[in-house]
Structure 1
Amino acid sequence: MKPIKKLVLLSLIASLCACHTVASTSKDKPMQKTNSILDNLTFECKHEVRPPIDKEVHSLYDYALYHDLHNMWRGKKGDEVWQNMAVYYRIAAYNGDYQANLRLQWLLETKRVVVKKPQTEVYHLNKELEKTLPATAMYKLYYHLDSNYGVKTTPGGKFAYLRKAADMGSREAQFAMADILKWINDRNTLDFRINLVKQLLNCASQQGMGKAAISLGTILELSEQYSEAIYIYHQGVIAGDQPSAFKLYRAFDKRQKHPLNKGIDQDLERATRYKMIDDYLFKYYFLKPTVPDLDEIVPLPPAKLPSWDGKIAFQRWFEGPSPQKPSDELMQKLAEKAGLDWQTGLPLKK
């Protein structure tokens, strides 16, 4: 690849990414140590294992999430809905439900759930998260370094958290490392960094990070690897990435005159389905919907298109009735198991 095109490629990555990586030095040219983040940098893609969640415990999360998301458009910070749903999230989180844990951390960080000491509660939730998703918990420590959440480090030690989280398999950390690598202004390490960024994005996208997929797909597209780009964009749509859906809509509708048109046949029905999904993901971005049922709606060629009612599974769930409210008996049982007050989800006073 010509030097100019490499610089354009990295500039494009820089405008799209937010990732971090671990990599090895080039055998042909020793890497110049112009930035401490590059010192001894090696990368081996590792995926974080997400353990199964007990269905009974997860029923608390399902109920809370439904009402939480229906409050997203008009809800006020600290309102009754979010304060009440926090109880369900807390009890689920301390019974091993990492999805409830992460959602509650976000609600506390954004002050939608209001407590006297949000930093303290987030700290304890993250300690609990270490039991199920240690890589994500490590990334959260990095994330909180600049946010007065009780996490501190020595000067220059900030990126140790990020590199460790990426090594452990955190997709967020892998994406964040790529973001750092792309902004380093050093021609001597250009080839090295482009390679690492691609590895990091690929690893993160394999784990369901939509932002990594759109970034990696764009790199492949610029490199004229169109079929590979289409596959990656498809994975991005599954993860809920709206720009990936828009890319595929344009790819299958040759009237759009897009580079992705090359090497594939026009398929207006596929284009229409991707556009419908694109429209939904764009309109309801604040709900963060994903499309795990994408292959049941619009599989990649040569698979034939199945019948479809025009809705993704998330949409049916969101537009449907509320999940059944967990019984007081279940709340009491799970709260007692975790040493919590079943009416607040907070630790019992000793």
Structure 2
Amino acid sequence: MQKTNSILDNLTFECKHEVRPSIDKEVHSLYDYALYHDLHNMWRGKKGDEVWQNMAVYYRIAAYNGDYQANLRLQWLLETKRVVVKKPQTEVYHLNKELEKTLPATAMYKLYYHLDSNYGVKTTSGGKFAYLRKAADMGSREAQFAVGEILERIDDKATFAFRTALVEQFLSCASQQGMGEASKSLGIGFELDKRYQEAIQVYHQGVKAGNKLSALTLADGFRITNSKQLDYLGGYVDLERSTRYQMIYDYLSTYYFLKITVPDLDEIVPLPPAKLPPWDGKIAFQRWFEGPSPQKPSDELMQKLAEKAGLDWQTGLPMKK
């Protein structure tokens, strides 16, 4: 036990946010076009179908021109076998090496994620947690959340108070960076401690990040007055706020598979005491998703960007030498 306490006593964390660089608009137009068709294929699409195979080309060219959003989305499509290639592990490995140039902390987290999946990286038994901690220290929100969850699950009463404070640091840092799951977990802790104002603020942040349970908690919290009920958040009643959070929850819950975020939340339901502005009942993502497809990038643009990255413009893969 003394050894365990000593390890924990030396465990400190300094919150660092990963800098997300701006993405060239011309490059990002490839991502926008591909994402629209990719997401519209999510419900009925078949793995390896024409839509995903074609959209992979746009994602590849954008990714190798510095678009980290395209890179991450393509990695996910390859990992879930929606985009089918002969050697997905090899392509994901090279994409992650490219990701290191723009989001090194996230790339480090992805290495941790891939260690058990035969994706080109290996370590000794238990060594993967060194990757996770390094990613957290570098600023990966996913890693910060994961470390916080691991610390929270440790069954050790002697270090409970210390770990609780440390968990809050990790989750707060991840929440501030838009990690919805971290916001939800942090909010639950604040609720239990009766820190209701902090809970409301962090759940609101969770809704921005697309966490549906944060939206449901706020929908309940702004109508519940009984302190013994679940999701009581101080008894401040505002039925219109409750309704708006409920509508957002309903949309996030129905279309959970689209990985939606709500960056326009403050324009819909700002935190009190701000007054509620007029609202047409739709979030910005919904308008985009229900609207027309972004303009298809021209062949000339595809060729220009592919040549710049040394890729075949029709496949997005490296030119054969």
Calculate the TM-score normalised by the size of structure 2: 0.96
Distance 1:260 1:115, change over 3 A: closer
Structure 1 residue 262, shift from structure 2 partner: 5.4
Which residue is equivalent to 1:159?
A: 129
Question: Would you say the 8 A contact 1:341–1:347 is kept in 2?
Answer: yes
Structure 1 residue 35, shift from structure 2 partner: 9.2
Question: Would you say the 8 A contact 2:244–2:269 is kept in 1?
Answer: yes
Structure 1 residue 157, shift from structure 2 partner: 1.6
Which residue is equivalent to 1:337?
A: 308
- TM-superposition CA deviations, 1:225-245 (whole Å, max 9, x none): 011100110110010000000
* Structure 2: segments with no counterpart, 5+ residues: none
Question: Would you say the 8 A contact 1:32–1:189 is kept in 2?
Answer: no
Which residue is equivalent to 1:23?
A: none
Structure 1 residue 211, shift from structure 2 partner: 0.2
Q: Distance in 2 between matches of 1:183 and 1:94?
A: 39
Structure 1 residue 191, shift from structure 2 partner: 1.4
2:97 is the counterpart of 1:127:
yes
Which residue is equivalent to 1:204?
A: 174
Which residue is equivalent to 1:85?
A: 55
- TM-superposition CA deviations, 1:33-89 (whole Å, max 9, x none): 339985842200000000000000000000000000000000000000000000000
Which residue is equivalent to 1:25?
A: none
Which residue is equivalent to 1:173?
A: 143
Which residue is equivalent to 1:115?
A: 85
Equivalent pairs, count: 320
Q: Helix, strand or coil: the match of 2:318?
A: coil
Q: Helix, strand or coil: the match of 1:33?
A: helix
Instruction: Flag the structure with more relative contact order, 1 or 2, with Cα contacts below 8 A and sequence separation at least 6.
Output: 1
Question: Would you say the 8 A contact 2:174–2:182 is kept in 1?
Answer: yes
2:290 is the counterpart of 1:323:
no
Distance 1:38 1:112, change over 3 A: farther
Which residue is equivalent to 1:245?
A: 215
Q: 251, 274, 277: which one pairs with 1:306?
A: 277
2:194 is the counterpart of 1:224:
yes
Which residue is equivalent to 1:182?
A: 152
Distance 1:45 1:84, change over 3 A: same
Which residue is equivalent to 2:236?
A: 265
Distance 1:262 1:54, change over 3 A: closer
Distance 1:255 1:36, change over 3 A: closer
Q: CA RMSD in A?
A: 1.7
Q: Distance in 2 between matches of 1:90 and 1:144?
A: 20
Question: Would you say the 8 A contact 1:89–1:101 is kept in 2?
Answer: yes
AA at the equivalent of 1:248: L
Q: Helix, strand or coil: the match of 2:4?
A: coil
* Structure 1: segments with no counterpart, 5+ residues: 1-30
2:257 is the counterpart of 1:286:
yes
Q: Helix, strand or coil: the match of 2:54?
A: helix
Distance 1:262 1:172, change over 3 A: closer
